[in-house]
Amino acid sequence: MAKQAPQAGLNIKASFIKSSARNEECPDLHVPEYAFIGRSNVGKSSLINRLVGNKYLAKISGRPGKTQLINHFSIEDGQWALVDLPGYGYAKVSKIQRTEFSRMIAYYLRNRKNLVNVFVLVDGRHEPQKLDLAFVKKLGNWGIPFSIVFTKMDKLSNSDSGKNQALMNSTLLKEWDNLPPMFLTSAESGLGRSELLAYISKLNGEIGPHLKKTS
């Protein structure tokens, strides 16, 4: 099984800001913003809660597709914002609703001026899925910076933990010249938490001052 990673600061100050059903309802923020998205039931809420050290921050549901709003959270007294986006793929909603979700997510991603990075969560137990590949291709075409986060890595043996990442690499390199940053994580063990937080801190240092100047 994947080893448990050392923790970077057990708890991070995080608070709920707002849930938005439409993009025009999203809060007007001038801090670096990081969006988390993935297929339904990829473990997004659990990973977000592990990231901030608060198991109650993002609501966890056993029903896929439960997140249907754009959820904003303030991190470290407003130093940056975390966004929990509705999952793509399976959800117990009508085709019309799925289309509306897709449009809402696409508009947010393409028009949110303070969006710094999109963390695309994929289930590390499985080979690259068509839905995930199609989504990251859209992000690439739109010129939106993103990272790939492999979840549930604690479910794999050490010998298997890198296989699906290698498959993802080889699949992306068929069309792309460069690979996005990738992280191996586990909401259960905390694997990858320190690396994700360090990456966000790095981007905050590079982009945060620029956002403050232009706000």
For 132-137, what is the mean pLDDT? 96
* Number of C-beta neighbours around residue 62 at 10 A: 6
Q: How many domains would you assign to the chain?
A: 1
Q: Which residue has the tokens 């492999």?
A: 150
Domain that holds residue 161: 14-214
Q: Could you read off the pLDDT of 27-79 as tens digits, one per residue?
A: 999 999 999 999 988 999 999 999 999 988 987 655 555 568 999 999 999 99
Residue 54 lies in a domain: yes
Q: List residues bridging with 183 in a β-sheet.
A: 149
Q: Is residue 92's pLDDT more than 80?
A: no
User: How high is the pLDDT of residue 68?
Assistant: 82
CB 136 within 8 A of CB 182: no
Residue 118 lies in a domain: yes
User: How high is the pLDDT of residue 3?
Assistant: 40
Amino acid code (one letter) for 170? S
- 3-state SS of 18-52 is EEECCHHHCCCCCCCEEEEEEECCCCHHHHHHHHH
Q: Domain holding 74: CATH number?
A: 3.40.50.300
Q: Which residue has the tokens 């994700």?
A: 196
For 131-158, what is the mean pLDDT? 95
Q: Does residue 4 or residue 122 have the better pLDDT?
A: 122
Which tokens hold the place of 117? 């990075």
Q: Is residue 23's pLDDT more than 60?
A: yes
Predicted model pTM? 0.90
Provide the angle, in degrees to the nearest 10, between the axes of the packed helices 163-172 and 130-142: 50
CB 79 within 8 A of CB 197: no
